[in-house]
Amino acid sequence: MSRIGKKAIAIPSGVTVTLQGQTVTVKGPKGQLAWTVSDEIEVAQADGQVSFTPRSESTRARAMWGLSRTLINNMVVGVTKGYEETLELVGVGYRAAMKGQALNMQLGFSHEVDVPPPAGITFAVPRPVEIKISGIDKQLVGEIAARIRKIRPPEPYKGKGVRYGGETVRRKEGKKK
């Protein structure tokens, strides 16, 4: 049995949740998100809470039960507080700056790398070696952070590259004479 799926989601004030068939729409102060729940899960809204129950006892239905609850909860948190991911640039000459809405980075290549923000994502550069990615969709914020990190992932010998905030890079020992 899913322990996560059993918990009902409390809807905070200022947030409206609309059920239309299997589609759940969450609207809040920061924006609106929608997701279609699998047919194996029944969604109910009552007393300011959204609850989920599986329609069968199949393995897939039980797996989708917890997943559905987590995704809808992430939507509720996203439209109220939002999500933010921090990236750090480590290396001599590695820096980031804003060029209009786009993110401009110098990462040791012969050229600069520009990353335009997709809809719903905003970039901020509080320091030249720090990038903040924010938005209401948790999955999209994480995906954009991973794409930026993939441009120059941290290497194990000197630790240079783009890393998540607080990420530790395992270092290798270099050549010896």
Amino acid 148 reads I
Structure tokens at 81: 């507080």
In 3-state terms the chain splits into helix, strand, coil percentages (rounded to 5) of: 25, 40, 40
20: which residues sit within 8 A by CB, 6+ positions away? none
DSSP secondary structure code for residue 167 in this structure: P
| Domains in the chain, CATH or no CATH each | 3-80 (3.90.930.12), 83-164 (3.90.930.12)
pLDDT tens digits along 79-97: 999 999 999 999 999 999 9
Structure tokens at 64: 């989708």
Q: What percent of the chain has pLDDT over 90?
A: 90
pLDDT tens digits along 18-64: 999 999 999 999 999 999 999 999 999 999 999 999 999 899 999 99
The model carries a pTM of 0.89
What is the distance between the alpha carbons of residues 21 and 43, in angstroms, rounded to a whole number?
9
Describe the crossing of helices 138-151 and 59-80 by its angle, rounded to 10 degrees: 90
Backbone angles phi, psi at 169, to 5 degrees: -105, 125
Q: Is the dihedral of CA 79, 83, 5, 3 positive or negative?
A: negative
The mean pLDDT of the chain is 94
The per-residue pLDDT for 176 is: 86
